[in-house]
Amino acid sequence: MTNQPQNLPLSDFDYYLPPVLIAQTAAEPRDSSRLLVLERATHTIIHRPSFRAILDYLKAGDVLVVNESKVIPARLFGNKIKSGGQIELLLLKPADIAHLGENDTWTVLVRPGRGTQVGARFIFTNPTGDESLEAEVLVVTPTGERLIRFSRPPLDFLERYGQMPLPPYIHQKPADPNRYQTVYATRPGSAAAPTAGLHFTPELIEQVKEKGVGFERVLLHVGLDTFQPVKEENALEHHMHGEWCKIEAGVAERLNEARANGGRVIAVGTTAVRTLESAFDPETGLQRAFEGDTTIFLYPGKPLRAIDGLITNFHLPKSTLLMLLSAFAGREFIMQAYAEAVREGYRFYSFGDACLIL
């Protein structure tokens, strides 16, 4: 049995990243980003010029598992009804995320938040002025968020008139908002994209399937807390945010069958990993169906059991995502690979290059 660490120094997951390596725009086409391949068994690092080389590392019987969550254009700009002052809302989470389109009550961030108390009312109007949406503050939370009720479920209004919330380190808005969506995103609910999947094109997915590789979908709605840095020097004291996820019984059965037949389960992104690990039964070694919130925290000393490979981007220093990678491949190997990626000028974060860990 693996010994659980009592201390996980945050400084162990720090590295220097020149700001110039933080990608501001996505590669075009999507699958032209670079690929760093890490082989865990031999601690080998391989540089490939294009993400399309992923095909060289997949074999018949393997299964790719993607997160099909779709980013909501969740930023709204409007006015306070009483004063006419400008207001900005960022919708974070509905009261019932499993029934997203029916929800009129959401947790939001308000800017400016100062003075925005219970009872404050807002109005949001489309550019032509012929459609509007109203909202009222019901609760101010201890962390400064607001629980608000809209005059009707806002999802349709958001899809037509909302703006895409981008990570704080991306300073220029993409010309095409869909560039911050995966090509297989179908289920609205995320405040941020599961970015490892941004490298796939429909053509590449077809080539994957033609090799006899399965392509399965799970769901995890990404919250903005994914960008929150770990502040505790002992990272084990970090409070992991909750995110709603789902894996259907048929998907779990096919993953178990693939592994039983010698295939590998390869997660596309850390959100797919968190979903799979949340629904994995370590006693039976089988993947289960699951639906609900997960606060799973994966770090060295807490091994990953549900996956055999991982496609991911390059993550922030001192982040829980870097700790997840270290749980899978070992901290020293991951930090060595990141140092080499910096030396070789790889592009980092959401619009950056890709990494395959096997």
Determine the angle formed by the axes of helices 270-278 and 320-329, rounding to 10 degrees.
Answer: 70
Rounded Cα distance between 249 and 125, Å, is: 42
Rounded Cα distance between 105 and 147, Å, is: 7
Confidence class of residue 2 from pLDDT cuts 50, 70 and 90? low
Q: What is the mean pLDDT of residues 129-151?
A: 92
Is the pLDDT score of 239 beyond 50?
yes
The answer to whether 161 and 126 have CB atoms below 8 angstroms apart is yes
Lowest mean pLDDT among 189-193, 228-232, 307-311: 228-232
Q: What is the pLDDT of residue 103?
A: 86
Confidence class of residue 226 from pLDDT cuts 50, 70 and 90? low
Rounded Cα distance between 232 and 236, Å, is: 8
Of 319, 139, 95, the closest CA to residue 225 belongs to 319
Query: What is the pLDDT of the chain when averaged over all its residues?
Result: 93
Q: What is the mean pLDDT of residues 282-294?
A: 96
pTM of the entire structure? 0.92
Q: Which of 51-55, 74-78, 111-115 has the highest mean pLDDT?
A: 51-55
Q: Which residue has the higher pLDDT, 114 or 37?
A: 37
Q: To the nearest whole percent, how much of the chain has pLDDT over 70?
A: 98
Q: What is the pLDDT of residue 229?
A: 77
Dig out the tokens for 125 from the structure: 């109007």
Q: What is the mean pLDDT of residues 305-324?
A: 96
Is the pLDDT score of 198 beyond 60?
yes
3-state helix, strand, coil in the chain (%, to 5): 30, 30, 45
Q: What is the pLDDT of residue 150?
A: 96
CATH code at 10-71+174-357:
3.40.1780.10
Range list for CATH 2.40.10.240 in the chain: 75-161
Range list for CATH 3.40.1780.10 in the chain: 10-71+174-357
Q: What is the mean pLDDT of residues 146-160?
A: 94
Hey, what's the torsion of the CAs at 240, 241, 244, 249, to 10 degrees?
0
Of 294, 296, 304, the closest CA to residue 334 belongs to 304
Q: What is the pLDDT of residue 191?
A: 86
Q: What is the pLDDT of residue 213?
A: 98
Diameter of the chain measured on Cα atoms: 66
Say which residues have a Cβ less than 8 Å from residue 230's Cβ, sequence separation at least 6: 10, 238, 318, 319, 320
Is the pLDDT score of 173 beyond 90?
no
Query: For domain 75-161, which CATH number applies: 2.120.10.30, 3.40.50.300, 2.60.40.10, 2.40.10.240?
Result: 2.40.10.240
Say which residues have a Cβ less than 8 Å from residue 342's Cβ, sequence separation at least 6: 15, 16, 17, 18, 21
Is the pLDDT score of 1 beyond 50?
no
Q: What is the pLDDT of residue 177?
A: 82
Q: What is the mean pLDDT of residues 255-273?
A: 98
Q: What is the pLDDT of residue 167?
A: 83
Q: What is the mean pLDDT of residues 11-40?
A: 97
